[in-house]
């Protein structure tokens, strides 16, 4: 379908392309549901080797597919969300003259993600890994006449190249160590070879391989340190943001960690590192989202925070909970982005929350959808997000260690700020007075192609967590079919049943506290702020301005990176100036000319224009060349004798 859209789309026309898009998406969903039934429900794990792709000595790389429970769940997420987004795009991008190219890019984005998750070897996975990166660049830069879109696409490409280089090191490490790239063979061989020696030093294979893999996953899933590209990626069309955040690119890092769970389970240091990355990402970006005013950037930072929860679960060795939260998150995050797109579409591309308001009157359906998505991401009971987010917080408290209390505090704080920015989003959109200069009576909901995907996603955001909770985390479930490896010492799901009920309900209490905090602050601001005395009001403004400056600019990480890169560029310029215009010139053509001229001047002292002197000089020169080239010690005495005779002749 991707090739048809790009190559034949302009000949077929928009109507035929629309019909083909709807039919192909329905067929894709039916095929994925059949795969899910066969693999998960019937427990039929399948590994297909299509053909021998590359053979280098003993290294054989096959092109094949692996279908297990993890792949079936990922395919269900990718295809269902992609189908909704593509149908939504038919209306959202209907006035764009390049709709056909846009749909082609979306199809390729989905195809490469499917290649990534279904691969049975790490080389094929890397093809999908790079494919989604290239497609994200093309989609973010879809409106290529905008300079901000150009910069955002280049930033995404460069930031992901940093992590991809480290991921390539992991691939080369495995090839050099094991001479195979097949997942099943790798895990069996790594269980035998746990220590390796480099020169005189022994090193832990799992530690270094885990470091390489986790850096690759951090860049792709936009975790703290390599996250800068994800908020800026909002310069692309809104359907791109929905697909990128909910089902494709950013979920690839979580999938990589779960696929290589065997490596992480055998190195406790890496698991602790993953826990720290996830917990700090969850709390920091939930706070940053609280201070944003761009509707898409709020949801983008929310994605970073929720992905932090997934990394956090992987560090706790609860991979089934991580994939459960990824599954739930896909539906309500796609709903939030499509709802935001409906608002932006109705308000003529306005994204600033401060210029919105009273949309519950003019866009009631969109407002209800965004409210459902926001309540689901808060973890309000009996919505989809509650069933995964609540158990994540319980897992954080189930580790009876001193550092576990700190991690639990970070996760609970992240839940609080998640409720704060979600409630703030609902209030700005629907309940506060309208700040727009436009006439609200001209606004209307989108057509059926926009409303139907949002309706289905709203239903899924309410019910899917309840229906699938037993499949993912239920007692006695055999749905994973042994596809996930967890060491017995890291298996802590049993402890959840013995946690105090007060601790179990803390996540819900903090979510309610976040909602009440927003309402309280809004009441104080609207009724008492202007009645404050001068100094008190001035001090309040200073504190708020300071916090806004830090968190609105994402704790100045971009500024820090700019300073580091600027310093490196200046240092490299000075070094290059000294090296290029100094050392290289001295040993280059200019230096050769200048030095040769000086040598020739001094050589005139020894020149007497006597033939015998010149013959002696030529002989000594050739003997020296032979000594230098062949390193012969036998010619060295002749060289010395020649020099002595030459000096005697000169003195005579």
Bridge partners, residue 51, by sequence:
63
Q: What is the pLDDT of residue 204?
A: 78
Higher-confidence residue: 485 or 322?
322
3 state DSSP class of 491:
coil
**H/E element, 415:** helix 402-426
Task: Say how far apart CA 435 and CA 293 lie, in whole Å.
Answer: 13
The predicted pLDDT at position 580 comes to 66
Among 340-344, 637-641, 645-649, the range scoring the smallest mean pLDDT is: 645-649
Q: 8 to each of 5, 17, 25, 28, how far by Cα in Å?
A: 6, 9, 18, 20
Question: How confident is residue 7, by pLDDT bands cut at 50, 70 and 90?
Answer: low
List strand residue ranges (DSSP E) for 288-419, in order: none
Q: What is the pLDDT of residues 576-605, one digit of tens each?
A: 777 666 666 666 666 666 666 666 666 665
pLDDT band at 631 (very low <50, low <70, confident <90, very high): low
Looking at the predicted structure, is the pLDDT value of residue 649 above 60? no
Please state the rounded mean pLDDT for residues 338-354.
Answer: 86
Whether residue 312 is predicted with pLDDT greater than 90 in this model: the reply is no
Output the pLDDT for position 257. 92
pLDDT of residue 90: 87
Among 183-192, 240-249, 419-428, which stretch is predicted with the lowest mean pLDDT? 183-192
Range in 395-409, 483-497, 585-599 the model is least confident about: 585-599
Q: What is the pLDDT of residue 358?
A: 76
Mean predicted lDDT score pLDDT of the chain: 81
pLDDT for res 40: 86
Q: Region 248-265: what's the mean pLDDT?
A: 89
Looking at residue 225, what is its pLDDT? 83
Contact criterion met (CB below 8 Å) for 177 and 190: no
The reported pLDDT for the residue numbered 255 is 92
Q: What's the burial of 263, exposed, middle or buried (CB within 10 Å: 0-12/13-18/19+)?
A: buried
Bridge partners (DSSP) of residue 66 are 47
The pLDDT score that the predictor gives to residue 115 is 92
Alpha carbon distance 314, 323 (integer Å)? 9
Could you please report the per-residue DSSP string of 2-29? HHHHHHHHHHH-HHHHHHHHHHHHHHHH
pLDDT at 48 over 60: yes
Encoded tokens for 550: 């830090």
Q: Which pLDDT score, from 0 to 100, does residue 1 have?
A: 62
* pLDDT tier, 508 (very low <50, low <70, confident <90, very high otherwise): confident
Q: For residues 497-503, give the mean pLDDT.
A: 79
Q: How far apart are CA 493 and CA 313, in angstroms?
A: 12
* Alpha-helix residue ranges (DSSP H) falling in 57-195: 69-92, 99-118, 122-140, 147-178, 183-190
**Mean pLDDT across 440-445:** 63
Q: Which of 129-138, 198-207, 513-522 has the lowest mean pLDDT?
A: 198-207
CA 109 – CA 83 distance, rounded (Å)? 12
Average pLDDT (527-543) is 70
Share of the chain above pLDDT 70, in %: 79
Mean per-residue pLDDT for 254-273? Answer: 89
**Using CA atoms, how far apart are residues 255 and 78, in angstroms rounded to an integer?**
12
What integer pLDDT is reported at residue 167 of this predicted model?
92
Burial class of residue 631, CB neighbours in 10 A (0-12, 13-18, 19+) = exposed
Residue 243 contacts by C-beta under 8 Å, 6 or more apart in sequence?
Answer: 81, 82, 85, 106, 109, 110, 334
Going by C-alpha positions, the residue among 202, 169, 206, 170 that lies closest to residue 187 is: 206
pLDDT band at 359 (very low <50, low <70, confident <90, very high): confident
Between CA 144 and CA 608 the distance in angstroms is: 75
Provide mean pLDDT across the span 97-102: 84
For 83-94, the pLDDT digits (tens) are: 899 889 888 888
Least confident of 45-49, 496-500, 562-566: 496-500
């Amino acid at each position: 379908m991707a090739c048809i859209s790009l190559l034949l789309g302009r000949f077929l026309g928009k109507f035929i392309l629309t019909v083909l898009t709807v039919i192909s998406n329905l067929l894709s969903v039916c095929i994925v549901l059949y795969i899910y039934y066969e693999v998960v429900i019937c427990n039929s794990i399948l590994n297909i080797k299509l053909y021998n792709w590359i053979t280098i000595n003993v290294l054989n790389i096959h092109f094949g597919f692996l279908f297990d429970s993890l792949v079936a769940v990922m395919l269900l997420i990718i295809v269902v969300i992609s189908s909704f987004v593509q149908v939504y795009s038919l209306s959202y991008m209907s006035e764009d003259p390049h709709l056909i190219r846009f749909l082609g890019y979306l199809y390729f984005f989905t195809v490469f993600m499917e290649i990534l998750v279904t691969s049975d070897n790490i080389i094929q996975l890397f093809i999908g890994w790079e494919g989604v990166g290239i497609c994200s660049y093309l989609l973010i830069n879809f409106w290529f006449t905008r300079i901000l879109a150009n910069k955002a696409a280049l930033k995404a490409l460069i930031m992901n190249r940093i992590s991809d280089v480290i991921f390539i090191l992991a691939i080369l490490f495995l090839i050099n160590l094991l001479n195979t790239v097949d997942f099943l063979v790798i895990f069996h061989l790594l269980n035998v070879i746990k220590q390796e020696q480099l020169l005189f030093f022994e090193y832990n294979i799992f530690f270094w391989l885990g470091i390489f893999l986790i850096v690759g996953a951090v860049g792709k899933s936009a975790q703290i340190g390599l996250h800068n590209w994800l908020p800026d990626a909002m310069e692309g069309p809104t359907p791109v943001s929905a697909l990128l955040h909910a089902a494709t690119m950013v979920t690839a890092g979580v999938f990589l960690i779960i696929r290589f769970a065997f490596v992480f389970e055998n190195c406790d240091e890496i698991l602790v590192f993953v826990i720290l990355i996830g917990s700090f990402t969850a709390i920091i970006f939930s706070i940053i989202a609280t201070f944003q005013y761009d509707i898409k950037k709020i949801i983008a930072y929310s994605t970073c925070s929720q992905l932090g929860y997934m990394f956090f679960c992987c560090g706790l060795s609860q991979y089934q909970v991580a994939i459960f939260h990824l599954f739930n998150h896909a539906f309500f995050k796609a709903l939030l982005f499509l709802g935001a797109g409906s608002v932006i579409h109705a308000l003529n591309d306005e994204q600033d929350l401060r210029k919105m308001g009273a949309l519950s009157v003019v866009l009631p359906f969109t407002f209800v959808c965004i409210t459902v998505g926001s309540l689901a991401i808060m973890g309000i009971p009996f919505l989809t997000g509650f069933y995964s987010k609540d158990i994540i917080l319980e897992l954080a408290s189930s580790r009876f260690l001193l550092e576990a209390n700190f991690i639990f505090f970070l996760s609970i704080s992240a839940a609080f700020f998640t409720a704060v920015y979600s409630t703030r989003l609902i209030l700005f959109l629907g309940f506060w007075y309208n700040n727009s200069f436009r006439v609200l009576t001209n606004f209307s909901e989108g057509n059926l192609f926009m409303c139907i995907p949002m309706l289905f996603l709203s239903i899924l955001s309410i019910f899917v967590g309840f229906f699938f909770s037993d499949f993912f985390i239920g007692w006695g479930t055999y749905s994973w079919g042994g596809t996930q490896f967890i060491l017995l010492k890291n298996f802590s799901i049993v402890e959840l049943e013995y946690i105090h009920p007060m601790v179990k309900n803390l996540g819900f209490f903090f979510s309610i506290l976040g909602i009440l905090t927003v309402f309280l602050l809004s009441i104080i601001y609207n009724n008492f702020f202007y009645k404050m005395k001068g100094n008190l009001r001035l001090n309040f403004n200073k504190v708020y301005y300071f916090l806004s400056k830090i968190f609105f600019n994402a704790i100045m990480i971009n500024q820090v990176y700019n300073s580091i890169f600027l310093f490196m560029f200046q240092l490299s310029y000075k070094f290059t100036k000294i090296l290029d215009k100094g050392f290289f010139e001295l040993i280059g053509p200019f230096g050769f000319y200048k030095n040769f001229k000086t040598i020739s001047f001094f050589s005139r002292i020894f020149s007497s224009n006597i033939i015998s002197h010149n013959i002696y000089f030529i002989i000594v020169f050739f003997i020296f060349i032979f000594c230098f080239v062949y390193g012969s010690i036998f010619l060295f005495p002749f060289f010395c004798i020649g020099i002595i005779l030459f000096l005697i002749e000169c003195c005579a």
